[in-house]
Amino acid sequence: MDCHEAKNYISLYIDEEISDNKAEELLQHTKECATCRQLLLDMEFISRLLGAAGQSIMTAPEGLKDSIMEELGHKKGSRLEPVMKLMKDSWKRLSSRINRHN
């Protein structure tokens, strides 16, 4: 697995939409690659951080959601920018899943 692939799988991993095989490949990659390891840690941190609030943010109107995401990205500094980008994709998937249930 290369970094490009790993980045795609990280958001799937956070969403628990990844097969066990791929999860293992991803974790193997993060053992060898500090960049992806950090990305995974950041994603896990943000997703935990947003756990409770995330639900209500997800159902917020698109514009509002974007500004919340931008705000979070800026607060933590530019290091988190790629993470926030991944989170946006992740959220899109999550909100479509939630909307389906409603």
Interacting residues with Zn ion (CB under 5 A)? 3, 6, 33, 36
Q: How far is the CB of 29 from Zn ion (least distance, A)?
A: 6
Give the residue with the Cβ less far from Zn ion, 2 or 16: 2
Q: How far is the CB of 66 from Zn ion (least distance, A)?
A: 27
Give the residue with the Cβ less far from Zn ion, 72 or 82: 82
CA 28 to chain centroid, in Å, comes to 19
Measured CA to CA, the distance from residue 58 to residue 93 in angstroms comes to: 10
Give the residue with the Cβ less far from Zn ion, 27 or 33: 33
Q: How far is the CB of 52 from Zn ion (least distance, A)?
A: 30
